[in-house]
Amino acid sequence: MLEASFVLIAASAALGLWLSRSPNRRRLEAWQRAVAACGLEIVEESAGWSPGLRARAGQVYARIETLGDKGRFARISIEAPAPPDFHSVTIRPQTKLEIGREIEIGDRPFDDAYFIQGPTRLVRALLDAEARRLLIGMRDSWLTIAEGELQALAPNQDVAGVLSRLLKARKHFAPPIHILQRLVDNAANDPEPGVRLRNLLLLVRELSWSPETQGALQRACSDPVAEIRLRAAKELGAEGRGVLQELAEGLEDDAVSAEAVSLLDREMPFERLTSILGLAMRRRRLQTARLCVDSIGRRGAPAGVGLLAKILEREQGDLATAAAEALGAIGSPAAEPALIQALQSDQEDLRVAAAKALGRAGTAAAVPPLKEAAEDDRLDLGLRRATRQAIAEIQSRVQGASPGQLSLAGSEAGQLSLSSDPAGQLSIPPEERPE
């Protein structure tokens, strides 16, 4: 009996020694050291086959538990007081299977790493540069924020580091959060231009009534990024006209300068507009050049005909087509030679634009070239329609003419006059018919 007791005691001691040296026990001890290093006090723990613990510091609670059968990873969760609506914020690793409307912050590496949903104001206010730095540092830990809780996975040897980063992130999200001021600060100071722009646009869209928004727009007019200066100047109205003028003339960003020209349009002096056009042509800022050409056409300024004619003669593509359209809008006969020359272009849309422009700007001398252009390319139905319409418009401007009543005059070769032919055909008098 005594011998059996000794055996039982020895077995119990051996079991205790085994448990004290088992992987689960060592894991729990490592977790204990980790929470202590982070300033947390253990309030609950369990050893055995699936170790875990719960610790706290004030109103902040941390939970660590074994993940998976082999226990190589731990799941770490943090709960704490949060701003209103934080429970509606979801941040999780980005995958190809995501469904639903996502919020993009404007920081490309961060947006590529995480899928984000929730109240837009709160999300943008919370995810400033420091918050993104903390969260991107845990992208390999399968960080998730959902239902007001931060959660991450970590190999057992990395528990202390991941726990520390989670606690710092949670502290950054702790209330009170002044959303308006956070958005203003982000619009002014975030190192990522995309983040600054999105915060600024949110202020304009949802908080335009606020004096802070007005101040943010004024500061954004000095932003190093041209697009941000453009958006701010556009929203400031008359106060932003000077910035728009600088952007239009600076040609730092072709798309931005083009939009600045479009916004200013008739407010810009003609001489300054043509100066920008010339500089845009030299620097090959073709979007800006196109908007300048359009503006000259809308103004109907005969002084711009010479410059537009040169563009029509020297350029190809959309810019040449825009020049033809602008010459048509001005309607000056001085544009006729350049437009007639453009009828011979191998660019289909340019030929059509030139024909339409001649309908507004051409004289009777333009009719033969228009007919010739239509005959040379019978398959181009758009050109044939444009030439017929242009000839009809020219006819309507001849004193006393009715449609189809123009003919070549025998007394002045190459000139058109009214024909008495009742058929109203464009014809050559008999004495001048070719052999």
Do residues 382 and 407 both lie within one domain?
no
Across 226-246, average pLDDT: 96
Domain-located, residue 379 = yes
The tens digit of pLDDT for each residue in 292-328 reads: 999 999 998 889 999 999 999 999 889 999 999 999 9
Question: pLDDT for 73-111, tens place per residue?
Answer: 899 999 999 999 999 999 999 987 767 678 999 999 999
- How far is Cα 258 from Cα 319, in angstroms, rounded to an integer? 13
Q: What digits encode the pLDDT tens for the residues 163-176?
A: 999 999 999 999 99
Q: Which of 168, 194, 222 is a domain's end point?
A: 168
* pLDDT number for residue 408: 40
pLDDT band at 244 (very low <50, low <70, confident <90, very high): very high
Measured CA to CA, the distance from residue 272 to residue 155 in angstroms comes to 65
Query: DSSP alpha helices (H): ranges in 38-114?
Result: 108-113
Q: Indicate whether 326 and 393 sit together in one domain.
A: yes
**Of the candidates 110, 143, 168, which is a domain's last residue?**
168
Residues 325 and 393 grouped into a single domain: yes
Report the domain count for the chain: 3
| Cβ atoms 336, 352 nearer than 8 A | no
Given a contact cutoff of 8 angstroms between Cβ atoms, the answer to whether 257 and 273 are in contact is: no
State the burial class of residue 374 (Cβ atoms within 10 Å of its Cβ: 0-12, 13-18, 19+): buried
Residues 325 and 434 occupy one common structural domain: no
The torsion angles phi and psi of 173, rounded to 5 degrees, stand at: -95, 0
Quick one: 14 exposed, middle or buried, by C-beta within 10 A (0-12, 13-18, 19+)? exposed
Q: List, in order, residues 6 or more apart from 349 with CB less than 8 Å away.
A: 321
* Bridge-based pairing state of the strands 144-146 and 149-155: antiparallel
Residue 332 domain flag: yes
Helix (H) or strand (E) holding 114: strand 114-117
In a domain, 356, yes or no: yes
SS3 of residue 13 by DSSP = helix
Residue 202: inside a domain, yes or no? Answer: no
Percentage with pLDDT > 90 across the chain: 62
**Same domain, residue pair 341 and 365:** yes
Q: What is the pTM of this model?
A: 0.78
342 within some domain: yes
366 and 423 inside one domain = no
Return d(Cα 354, Cα 48) in angstroms, integer.
Answer: 87
- Residue 238: inside a domain, yes or no? no
Residues in the chain: 435
CATH number of domain containing 382: 1.25.10.10
50 and 2 assigned to the same domain: yes
Q: Residue 221 and residue 188: Cα distance in Å, rounded?
A: 10
Q: Is residue 349 part of a domain?
A: yes
The answer to whether residue 59 sits within a structural domain is yes
Give the domain-ending residue among 168, 201, 229. 168
Range of the domain at 412: 401-435
Domain shared by 386 and 405, yes or no: no
pLDDT in tens, 10-52: 444 444 444 444 778 888 888 999 999 999 999 998 876 778 8
